[in-house]
């Protein structure tokens, strides 16, 4: 053989070896080089070179054996060199392309679940193929050159495996992170290059992009110089070093990296949308954070970083989080620095991605809040970052942990831009490092999220096929009208959403270590559940055990598992059983109805309930019923003497939700004053209604029907609510009374705080109003006690004053109600209020007018039909009735009245009332709990006149 031919053969042999082929071209096989794994090449993707340019990417492969056609199913083939691009090149370039054969190279995708080696070997059976190999992933070898990274000052980056992550995804490629904070230093040497500019609205005095913000080129300031006089502007830059919280956060989210200056950041090149939500004269307060979140979502940010929070949480904040999530955003939120497991907001909202803080050894920081709502933990102690005027410094807290997670989220999103923000969050959460084996974390099992952030794992997993099942909503059905009472079997339904990849057969296991409940249904299967699909799974049957105390909070765990794909996850929720209260969350104010006459909280010291919440301001500390007719006889559950509350009311019928109500929520409860040392002998039916549509969505109606149980007439009766509002800073409040609207209202001297009010709706007796403050000498509360005699003074003094508070304000309370009443034996009177929340005086006044109209024309049930000079009877309400129903009668002159209840065939079931009545309107209640389902009639007789009304009972 010619030596030159031998040399050529040897060359071809080594060439094939370099690609991993065997030396026999007739039986070509491929093996991956030693040490390579799936992370080193793209899945189900091959690089193929054909021998003949005319083939142009064939769709099938010829195995050479018609009995064994190729098994490979091709999803796509894409030319390495675009044909149009070739025709644009010079003749010499075309010659080189043709000579080397770049025009014969294709990227090919396949759908088979086979190894990359098997796929290549299937392709190599076709002699038309010159070679086939994986589409390799390569990695950069350069670390950032930022001085504080090189020196090791930013050790947290190694802790979260950022350098390894950069080997897969080097930077965030311009993903936008919104920094909703105190503002930032837009000219900082390590931030300026990453500041996001809204190119659609240059600074020219015109709202070019028609978004409602003029010249928001560099971001937006929602507060301005002072929250006392809010003036928005287009400059989110901070004017003083004291405001540098947002600057520090900005650097952690996306300091410019590899610029030989300052620090490095995980995201490196993410763009920072700066949204200032604090005032220039207050370094710590965030006044317009929720406005900032909405702005960020509307202007293209997919990661929204919020290093702030507080105890107040209501409908407003949840609506904002829902809005951002529905627009594809991930809202990353600090869990708080209170070292408690009580919920802080917005971290505790459904959909928020809450971040706890761990130290350099992965142990929970002593200051970090925690809880089952936390999604993830991240380093946050002694973190070095940017501060004002081109400087750098260290800060600690969940405020620092949060932008670190936001930065990681941007890197994951850059790796896979088709992901939503929530999907990015789930990838971060499912790919953490477990830190619960550390002794310092043993007291916080599952309350620091899924573990400590690992950016490398998250970026590596961005395209994995793992699902993520998360509960979106819980529906509980019971037989005790929403009170989840002892002995009841509750049915729990979960709206489970698969946020990531499709799966089949996830087992859902419900458990609790609390013996107050017995779980009858412990496990159900999801069946097939696609990505982004939501399925209702249930019912899980749960029995409330006899040992359960009132308002027992049960912690439940939902575990998810699919062993076939090594998927397992869990989450927690709490549920309160044997309730003596129900929370009302159907409109823009959140409140609570109780079984003991209180409003907002059934317990002392603002416990067991929501209070009264408007726009995330928790406005109410106490609202308690007082009924009295002498200085020695006031039945009540308001604060009393020796630091204790009077507890005079006894629960008769536990609070329950009214079925088929005309309101979005209606609940009732029944109590009496039998526990009072000097009872009046009254039974009180409390009723609370809320509506969800404007103009009725900023108030809750509270009604008390007070029935005289005895035969003797009660005289000189006053009934009212003792109310302690705490609007924002409760020590800086004022109270005023609007006699025209019969409304007491409280507001604060602090900026941007709302108004809270109680509007008196009932008019059967004269209004009364008595403002109070323990900070004033000679005030009934000045000595720290509130005696029965003092309570009667506040009840019986009419309109004692119309305002209270001066200077910057006081801690104020007031008593509001009606009296005196005269209540005949077995008769009743109604006392009604509207609890109102609003932005300002005009807002609450409009709601007061709407509430009066709603109560007069709808809630009282046709009372306008009862003309003062005629005998009349209203239709009962509710109708149909399940437990109790009420109706009103008008007596035009003193006389005897008889009310009787009959069944459908005319048999008398009950005599509801049979006695004399004085002229006036009266409300009566029929207890239907012992009645069978069917049609009944109540007949009212008065001085020879009769009216018969039909009533339906449905059980």
User: Can you give 816-841 as a three-state secondary structure string?
Assistant: EEEEEEEECCCCEEEEEEEEEEECCH
Q: What tokens appear for 905 in the block?
A: 């065939």
Q: Distance of CA 318 to CAs 297, 585, 587, 636, Å?
A: 15, 11, 12, 35
β-pairing, 176-181 vs 303-306, is parallel
Distance CA 181, CA 332 (A): 12
How far CA 62 is from CA of 25, 57, 70, 127, 503, in Å, comes to 15, 13, 7, 8, 35
Q: How many residues does the chain have?
A: 955
Place of tokens 């009296």: 819
Task: Give a three-class secondary structure readout of 835-872.
Answer: EEEECCHHHHHHHHHHHHHHHHHHHCCCHHHCCCCCCE
Q: What 3-state DSSP class applies to 937?
A: strand
Neighbouring residues of 225: CB distance < 8 A, sequence distance ≥ 6? 231, 279, 280, 281
Segments in 21-124 forming alpha helices (H): 83-87, 91-100, 116-123
Contact 218, 236 (CB under 8 A): yes
Distance CA 317, CA 461 (A): 32
DSSP secondary-structure letter at 784? S
SS (H, E, C) 224-281: CCCHHHCCCECCCECCCHHHCHHHHHHHHHHCCCCCCCCCCCCCCCCEEEEEECCCCC
The token pair that represents 839 in the structure block:
């932005």
Residue entry with tokens 């003193």: 894
Could you tell me if 828 and 925 are in contact, meaning their C-beta atoms sit under 8 angstroms apart? yes
Q: How many CA atoms lie within 13 A of 58 on its CB side?
A: 18
Q: How would you classify the pairing of strands 665-672 and 650-657? A: antiparallel
Nearest by Cα to 580 from 559, 558, 552: 552
Closest CA to 752 of 617, 620, 587: 617
The residue annotated as part of the active site, out of 181, 215, 221, 616, is 181
> Which DSSP category does 612 fall into?
-
Query: Of the residues 250, 378, 399, 847, which is catalytic?
Result: 399
DSSP 290-349: HHHHHHHHHTT-SEEEE---BS---HHHHHHHHHHHHTT-EEEEE--SSSS-S--BTTTS
User: How many CA atoms lie within 13 Å of 561's alpha carbon, on the beta-carbon side?
Assistant: 8
Pairing of strands 620-630, 617-618: unpaired
In Å, what is the CA distance from 667 to each residue of 517, 592, 623, 723, 842?
Answer: 25, 10, 17, 21, 29
Catalytic residue among 188, 245, 248, 484: 245
399 is catalytic: yes
For 65, how many CA atoms within 13 A lie in the half-sphere containing its CB?
Answer: 6
The answer to whether residues 409 and 428 touch, using CB atoms and an 8 Å cutoff, is: yes
Report the interhelical angle of 289-298 vs 315-326 (nearest 10°). Answer: 20
Active site residue 170: no
Q: Is 739 a catalytic residue?
A: no
In contact, 13 and 23? CB cutoff 8 Å: yes
Please state, as a whole number, how many other Cβ atoms lie within 10 Å of the Cβ of residue 715. Answer: 11
How far, in Å, CA of 592 to CA of 611, rounded? 6
- Maximum alpha-carbon separation in the chain: 136
Q: Which residues are catalytic?
A: 181, 245, 399
């Amino acid at each position: 053989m010619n030596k030159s031919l031998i040399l050529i053969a040897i060359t071809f042999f080594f060439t094939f070896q370099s690609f991993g082929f065997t030396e026999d071209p007739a039986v070509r096989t491929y093996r991956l080089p030693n040490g390579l794994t799936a992370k080193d090449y793209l899945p189900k993707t091959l690089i193929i070179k054909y021998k003949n340019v005319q083939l142009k990417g064939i769709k099938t492969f010829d195995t050479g054996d018609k009995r064994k056609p190729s098994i490979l199913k091709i999803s796509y083939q894409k030319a390495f060199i675009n044909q149009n691009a070739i025709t644009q090149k010079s003749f010499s370039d075309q010659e080189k392309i043709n000579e080397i054969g770049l025009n014969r190279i294709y990227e090919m995708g396949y759908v088979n679940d086979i190894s990359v080696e098997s796929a290549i070997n299937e392709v190599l059976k076709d002699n038309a193929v010159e070679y086939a190999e994986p589409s390799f992933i390569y990695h950069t070898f350069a670390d950032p050159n930022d001085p504080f990274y090189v020196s090791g000052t930013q050790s947290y980056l190694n802790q979260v495996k950022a350098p390894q992550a950069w080997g897969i995804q080097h930077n965030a490629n311009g993903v936008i992170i919104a920094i909703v904070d105190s503002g930032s230093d837009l000219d900082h040497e390590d931030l300026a290059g990453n500041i996001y500019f809204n190119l659609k609205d240059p600074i020219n005095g015109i709202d070019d992009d028609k978004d409602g913000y003029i010249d928001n080129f560099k971001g937006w300031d929602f507060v301005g110089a002072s929250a006392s006089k809010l003036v928005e502007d287009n400059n989110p830059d901070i004017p003083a070093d004291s405001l540098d919280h947002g600057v520090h956060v900005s650097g952690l989210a996306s300091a410019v990296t590899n610029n030989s200056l300052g620090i490095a950041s995980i995201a490196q090149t993410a763009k920072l949308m700066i949204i200032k939500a604090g005032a220039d004269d207050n370094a710590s307060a965030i006044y317009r954070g929720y406005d900032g979140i909405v702005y960020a979502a509307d202007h293209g940010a997919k990661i929204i970083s919020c290093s702030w929070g507080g105890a107040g949480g209501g409908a407003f904040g949840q609506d904002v989080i829902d809005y951002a999530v529905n627009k594809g955003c991930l809202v990353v939120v600090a869990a708080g620095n209170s070292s408690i497991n009580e919920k802080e907001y917005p971290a505790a909202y459904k959909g928020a991605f809450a971040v706890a803080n761990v130290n350099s050894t992965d142990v929970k920081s002593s200051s970090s809040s925690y809880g089952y709502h936390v999604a993830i933990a991240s380093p946050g102690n002694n973190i070095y970052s940017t501060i004002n005027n081109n400087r750098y410094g260290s800060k600690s807290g969940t405020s620092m942990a949060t932008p670190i997670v936001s930065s990681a989220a941007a890197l994951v999103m850059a790796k896979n831009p088709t992901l939503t923000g929530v999907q990015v969050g789930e990838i971060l959460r499912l790919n953490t490092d477990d830190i619960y084996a550390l002794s310092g974390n043993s007291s916080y099992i599952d309350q620091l999220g899924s573990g400590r952030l690992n950016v490398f794992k998250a970026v590596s997993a961005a395209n994995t096929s793992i699902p993520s099942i998360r509960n979106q909503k819980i529906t509980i059905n019971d037989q005790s009208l929403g009170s989840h009472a002892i002995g009841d079997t509750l049915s729990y339904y979960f709206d489970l959403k698969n946020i990531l990849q499709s799966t089949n057969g996830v087992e859902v296991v419900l458990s609790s270590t609390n013996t107050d409940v017995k779980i009858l249904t412990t496990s159900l299967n999801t069946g097939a559940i696609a990505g982004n699909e939501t399925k209702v799974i249930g019912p899980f049957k749960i029995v409330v055990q006899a040992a359960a105390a009132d308002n027992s909070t049960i912690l439940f765990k939902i575990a998810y598992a699919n062993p076939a794909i090594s998927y397992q996850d869990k989450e927690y929720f709490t549920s309160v059983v044997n309730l003596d209260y129900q929370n009302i969350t159907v409109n823009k104010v959140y409140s609570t109805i109780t079984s003991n006459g209180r409003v907002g909280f059934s317990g002392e010291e603002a416990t067991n309930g929501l209070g009264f919440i408007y726009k995330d301001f928790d406005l109410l500390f106490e609202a308690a019923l007082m009924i009295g007719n002498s200085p020695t006889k006031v039945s009540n559950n308001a604060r009393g003497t020796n630091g204790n509350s009077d507890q005079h009311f006894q629960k008769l019928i536990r609070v329950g939700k009214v079925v088929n109500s005309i309101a979005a929520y209606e609940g009732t409860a029944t109590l009496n004053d039998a526990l009072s040392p000097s009872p009046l002998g009254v039974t009180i039916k409390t009723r609370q209604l809320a509506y969800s549509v404007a103009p009725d969505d900023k108030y809750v109606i509270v009604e008390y029907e007070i029935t005289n149980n005895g035969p003797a007439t009660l005289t000189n009766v006053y009934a009212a609510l003792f109310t302690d509002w705490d609007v924002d800073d409760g020590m800086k409040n004022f109270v005023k009374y609007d006699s025209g609207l019969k409304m007491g209202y409280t507001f604060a001297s602090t900026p941007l705080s709302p108004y809270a009010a109680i509007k008196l709706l009932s008019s059967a007796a004269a209004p009364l109003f008595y403002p109070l403050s323990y900070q004033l000498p000679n005030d009934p509360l000045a000595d720290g006690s509130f005696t029965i005699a003092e309570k009667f003074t506040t009840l019986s003094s009419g309109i004692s004053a119309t305002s209270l508070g001066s200077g910057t304000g006081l801690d104020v309370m007031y008593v509001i109600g009606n009296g005196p009443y005269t209540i005949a034996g077995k008769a009743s009177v109604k006392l009604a209020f509207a609890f109102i929340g609003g932005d300002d005086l005009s807002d609450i006044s409009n709601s007061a007018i709407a509430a009066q109209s709603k109560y007069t024309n709808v809630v009282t049930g046709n009372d306008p039909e009862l003309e003062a000079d005629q005998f009349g009877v209203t239709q009962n309400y509710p109708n149909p009735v399940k437990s109790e129903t009420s109706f009103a009668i008008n007596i035009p002159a003193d006389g005897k009245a008889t009310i009787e209840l009959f069944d459908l065939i005319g048999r008398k079931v009950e005599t509801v009332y049979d006695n004399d009545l004085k002229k006036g309107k009266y409300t009566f209640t029929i207890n239907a709990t012992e009645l069978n389902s069917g049609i009944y009639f109540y007949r009212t007789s008065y001085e020879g006149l009769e009216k018969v009304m039909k009533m339906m009972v449905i059980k």
